[in-house]
Amino acid sequence: MQPDPRNTPLAYLKGVGPGRARLLESELGLKTFRDLLYFFPNRYIDKSRYYKIRELERSSAEVQLIGKIVHLKTVEQKRGKRLVATFRDDTGEMELVWFRSQKWFRERLKLGEPYVIFGRVNWYNGAFSMPHPDLELLSAHQQQKRIRMQPVYPSTEKLTRQGISNRLLTQWVAAVLAQVREVLPETLPDRILEALQLLPKPRSLVQIHFPDSNALLARAQARLKFEELFYIQLALLSKKHERKKRIRGYLFEQVGERFTAFYKDHLPFDLTGAQKRVIREIRADLGSNAQMNRLLQGDVGSGKTIVAVLTILLALDNGYQACLVAPTEILAQQHFNAVSELLEPLGLPVGLLTGSVKEKDRKPLLAGLSDGSLPILIGTHAVLEPRVKFNNLGLAIIDEQHRFGVAQRAKLWKKNKRPPHILVMTATPIPRTLAMSLYGDLDISLIDELPPGRKPVRTVLRGDRDRLRVFGFLKDEIRKGRQAYIVYPLIQESEAMDYKDLMDGFESISREFPQPDFQVSIVHGQMKPEAKEYEMQRFAEGKTQIMVATTVIEVGVNVPNASVMVIESAERFGLSQLHQLRGRVGRGADQSYCILMCGEKLSEEARTRLQTMARTNDGFEIAETDLKLRGPGNLLGTQQSGVLSLRIADLVRDRELLQSAREFARQLLLADPGLEQAENRVVRTRLQQMEVFQNRWDYIS
Ligand code: ADP
Ligand code: MG
């Protein structure tokens, strides 16, 4: 068999050699012919058309125009001289500007002769200009053979310095294409190519490097993006199928006594439609033979706790233990309180295990877990320690997963012979597009409905000069019996300064809201857990009216009587954080408010963030904006995932392609789960080459 020419090291490409091959590898990670094939241009110089001055846009695109220089002058300014030409076509005028080699140009430019100019336009003082254009006389230009669209490849300073220009890279790509074009295999099944009218693979690879037209470039890109997304979805989905087939879960066959009793007699409120639907989804999982791996998404306050409790009861009714793990001590404590209260009428013992549980209290707890007499455990990471042994753990619920490392999740699996059912709850709304690619192998349940009677939180932006008015408003609310949070940013690098801001703020607020009329609490990350807990408790019980805090309170705190959230230096917070913070209010029946205090000078991005907050309460809309502003790599919890290092597709811009890729992948697996049909052989081969995702799967399988 012939060796695949695509595996040839780049050193063997004519004009490259070992030295440059080393550079290409160290600078751009390119090793073989194949790497160069998939090294896509990041833009194209479009010399396929001529623009008119009137058509120019304030974008960074490089454009080509035909016109005449009608005037030439040297302009002197403090910062130096420049040569300015007035360039005219039949639609208008613009300036061409030279800062260097002025004498050379001044002597050679011909007035009144038609030129073709090419370059990037600037918009300055109400007019377009082009600094240092490429230019040639139209007569000379017409004699040349034209390349239509030229690829521009990503590069580095070092490569440029070493003489590896874009022109060289272009030549090398062309040479590789010429050598391997004949052997490039098709990597998508015919049926999909036909259904979507996709370009064949070899043609796509040629067109993405050397497009014959904009339209063909677009088709080549669409084809390659689709392929990329399709195989990711296929990998995730087939993994899920496999998991369902292979890993048998504990069978929770019966809806037993406790679930029924609780559901009939002790629910503190009617469940929302969304809550009921989610519980049905969970029950279907638990009653099947497979192990549940479900992500429960629901905005803050949407009522995930009750879903957790009902799921716990299902486990207990089938003779298993359940645990609920939270990312912080405060949150674990709150869950413990909420769950104990809800289960009180059933007389079920609930244990709490956190880092601050004393050794002497820990012993009976651990004993109860291992002999099975303690059916429910709530806690922090402490639950994951090896010495915590369950008798028969059937269900693990993880709250606020983005605080949870992959490795920690893996530890839960080791607690049993068989993996327990897993329910991950998150209030971080993950946009659908992202959820599909990140968690395509998990099942997703969504609580997309808030309990009835909630009034949307009113959000306003305020500046320093509004401070007195804001304080006045707080006093009014407190006199009405409400409570308020005032939150300060705490960003790690500037921690000392931030603590100073926090303490200064606390002092001035204590002055503004004096005792005995007002009580002010403070909570921050440097306090001892007991002290924190004590202050949170006082606030929760209504003994203090103002809680000054850092983002410690971000996650999960539930004080329905609190109706005002003031966020200081709001421009320093990310969107999802702002949304989480705002979720602390609006939990009771009263109108609630979120006041975003911000500086005068805001970056464009900060302004968009704050305005988004003022415009909407919808967590998913906010998450979508966040995704657009920051890109998926920065969203919480997605950093470790290799899935996002996409070569060409973009999860935000290409969401429609993603949806269609997922649908095609789903149908293909449905029709041919083992990928055994002849027409799907290409798919199987290609799928087997995908190892990239192994890391991310480790914790799930
Ligand atoms: P989260 O999803 O943020 O964890 P919680 O479970 O803490 O939300 O619920 C927020 C509040 O809403 C709690 O006070 C809870 O008792 C209440 N709640 C939850 N579901 C309902 C419902 N269906 N009807 C009325 N109140 C509800
Ligand atoms: Mg919660």
Name the band, by pLDDT with cuts 50, 70 and 90, for residue 611: very high
* Residue 305 CA, ligand 2 centroid: distance in Å: 6
Q: What percent of the chain has pLDDT over 90?
A: 48
CA gap 86, 107 in Å, rounded: 16
Output the pLDDT for position 554.
Answer: 56
Assigned CATH class of 48-146:
mainly beta
**Mean pLDDT across 681-693:** 74
Which of 305, 331, 445, 559 has most ligand 1 atoms within 8 Å of its beta carbon, as the pocket-test mutant?
Answer: 305
pLDDT tens track for 535-579: 888 998 899 999 999 876 655 567 889 999 999 999 988 888 898
* Residue 117 CA, ligand 2 centroid: distance in Å: 61
3-state class (DSSP) for residue 539: helix
Closest residue by Cα to atom 16, ligand 1, is 303
CA gap 349, 339 in Å, rounded: 10
Output the pLDDT for position 557.
Answer: 67
Residue 699 has pLDDT above 80, yes or no: no
**Mean pLDDT across 317-332:** 89
Taking each helix axis as running N to C, give the angle between helix 681-688 and helix 214-246, from 0 to 180 degrees, rounded to the nearest 10. Answer: 80
Name the band, by pLDDT with cuts 50, 70 and 90, for residue 604: confident
Residues with CB under 6 A from ligand 1: 269-272, 275, 298, 300-306, 427, 451, 558, 560, 587
* Residue 437 CA, ligand 1 centroid: distance in Å: 29
Name the band, by pLDDT with cuts 50, 70 and 90, for residue 613: very high
Q: CA-CA distances (angstroms) from residue 527 to 505, 531, 569?
A: 17, 6, 22
* Residue 193 CA, ligand 1 centroid: distance in Å: 48
* Residue 578 CA, ligand 2 centroid: distance in Å: 16
Output the pLDDT for position 642.
Answer: 39
Residue range 458-616 in CATH 3.40.50.300: yes
Please state the atom number of ligand 1 nearest to the C-alpha of residue 272.
23
Output the pLDDT for position 537.
Answer: 83
Residue type, 177: L
CATH assignment, 257-286+303-426: 3.40.50.300
Going by the DSSP 8-state scheme, the letter that residue 591 receives in this structure is: -
pLDDT tens track for 150-206: 899 998 888 888 889 898 999 999 999 999 988 898 999 999 999 999 999 999 999
Q: Which of 595, 281, 201 is nearest to 448 (CA)?
A: 281
Output the pLDDT for position 252.
Answer: 79
Please state the atom number of ligand 1 nearest to the C-alpha of residue 271.
23
Query: Side by side, which strands form the sheet with 546-549?
Result: 458-462, 593-597, 562-567, 483-487, 546-549, 520-523
* Residue 305 CA, ligand 1 centroid: distance in Å: 7
Output the pLDDT for position 636.
Answer: 44
Please state the atom number of ligand 1 nearest to the C-alpha of residue 307.
6
3-state class (DSSP) for residue 597: strand
3-state SS of the chain: helix, strand, coil percent to 5? 45, 20, 35
Output the pLDDT for position 56.
Answer: 84
Nearest ligand to the C-alpha of residue 308?
A: 1
* Residue 301 CA, ligand 2 centroid: distance in Å: 7
Please state the atom number of ligand 1 nearest to the C-alpha of residue 308.
6
Which of 272, 300, 306 has most ligand 1 atoms within 8 Å of its beta carbon, as the pocket-test mutant?
Answer: 306
Closest residue by Cα to atom 11, ligand 1, is 301
**Mean pLDDT across 675-698:** 69
Of 189-193, 508-512, 628-632, the range with the lowest mean pLDDT is 628-632
Q: CA-CA distances (angstroms) from residue 77 to 45, 121, 224, 536?
A: 33, 21, 51, 63
Output the pLDDT for position 638.
Answer: 43
Residue type, 599: G
Closest residue by Cα to atom 20, ligand 1, is 303
Output the pLDDT for position 170.
Answer: 94
CA gap 395, 400 in Å, rounded: 16
Residue 17 has pLDDT above 90, yes or no: yes
Q: Do domains 257-286+303-426 and 458-616 have the same CATH topology?
A: yes
pLDDT tens track for 19-67: 999 999 999 989 999 999 999 998 888 777 889 999 887 665 678 999 9
Output the pLDDT for position 649.
Answer: 81
Closest residue by Cα to atom 25, ligand 1, is 451
Cβ 33 vs Cβ 13: under 8 Å: yes
Please state the atom number of ligand 1 nearest to the C-alpha of residue 560.
14
Output the pLDDT for position 146.
Answer: 60
* Residue 504 CA, ligand 1 centroid: distance in Å: 35
pLDDT tens track for 405-414: 545 556 666 6
Query: How would you classify the pairing of strands 62-77 and 80-89?
Result: antiparallel
Model's pTM, two decimal places?
0.65
Nearest ligand to the C-alpha of residue 558?
A: 1
Closest residue by Cα to atom 17, ligand 1, is 303
Cβ 550 vs Cβ 525: under 8 Å: yes
Output the pLDDT for position 123.
Answer: 79
Average pLDDT, the chain: 85
3-state class (DSSP) for residue 216: helix
Cβ neighbours of residue 30 under 8 Å, at least 6 residues apart? Answer: 10, 24, 36, 39
CA gap 432, 445 in Å, rounded: 12
Q: Which residues are paired to 32 by β-bridges?
A: 9
* Residue 474 CA, ligand 2 centroid: distance in Å: 26
* Residue 535 CA, ligand 1 centroid: distance in Å: 23
Name the band, by pLDDT with cuts 50, 70 and 90, for residue 432: low
Joined tokens for residue 301: 């306050």
Output the pLDDT for position 564.
Answer: 96
Higher-pLDDT residue of 416 and 452 is 452
CA gap 527, 533 in Å, rounded: 10
Nearest ligand to the C-alpha of residue 555?
A: 2
Residue 404 has pLDDT above 60, yes or no: no
CA gap 316, 693 in Å, rounded: 35
> Quick count: other Cβ atoms within 10 Å of Cβ 588?
16
CA gap 192, 645 in Å, rounded: 24
Output the pLDDT for position 639.
Answer: 40
CA gap 216, 445 in Å, rounded: 40
Name the band, by pLDDT with cuts 50, 70 and 90, for residue 141: confident
Of 157-166, 329-338, 348-357, 627-636, the range with the lowest mean pLDDT is 627-636
Long-range contacts of 6-9 (CB under 8 A, 24+ apart): 6/32, 6/33, 6/34, 6/37, 6/180, 6/183, 7/32, 7/33, 7/34, 8/32, 8/33
Sequence spans of domains, the chain: 48-146, 257-286+303-426, 458-616
CA gap 173, 10 in Å, rounded: 11
Please state the atom number of ligand 1 nearest to the C-alpha of residue 270.
23
Residue 361 has pLDDT above 90, yes or no: yes
* Residue 560 CA, ligand 1 centroid: distance in Å: 10
Please state the atom number of ligand 1 nearest to the C-alpha of residue 275.
23
Higher-pLDDT residue of 330 and 435 is 330
Of 503-507, 565-569, 599-603, 632-636, the range with the lowest mean pLDDT is 632-636
Which of 558, 584, 587 has most ligand 1 atoms within 8 Å of its beta carbon, as the pocket-test mutant?
Answer: 558
Nearest ligand to the C-alpha of residue 556?
A: 2
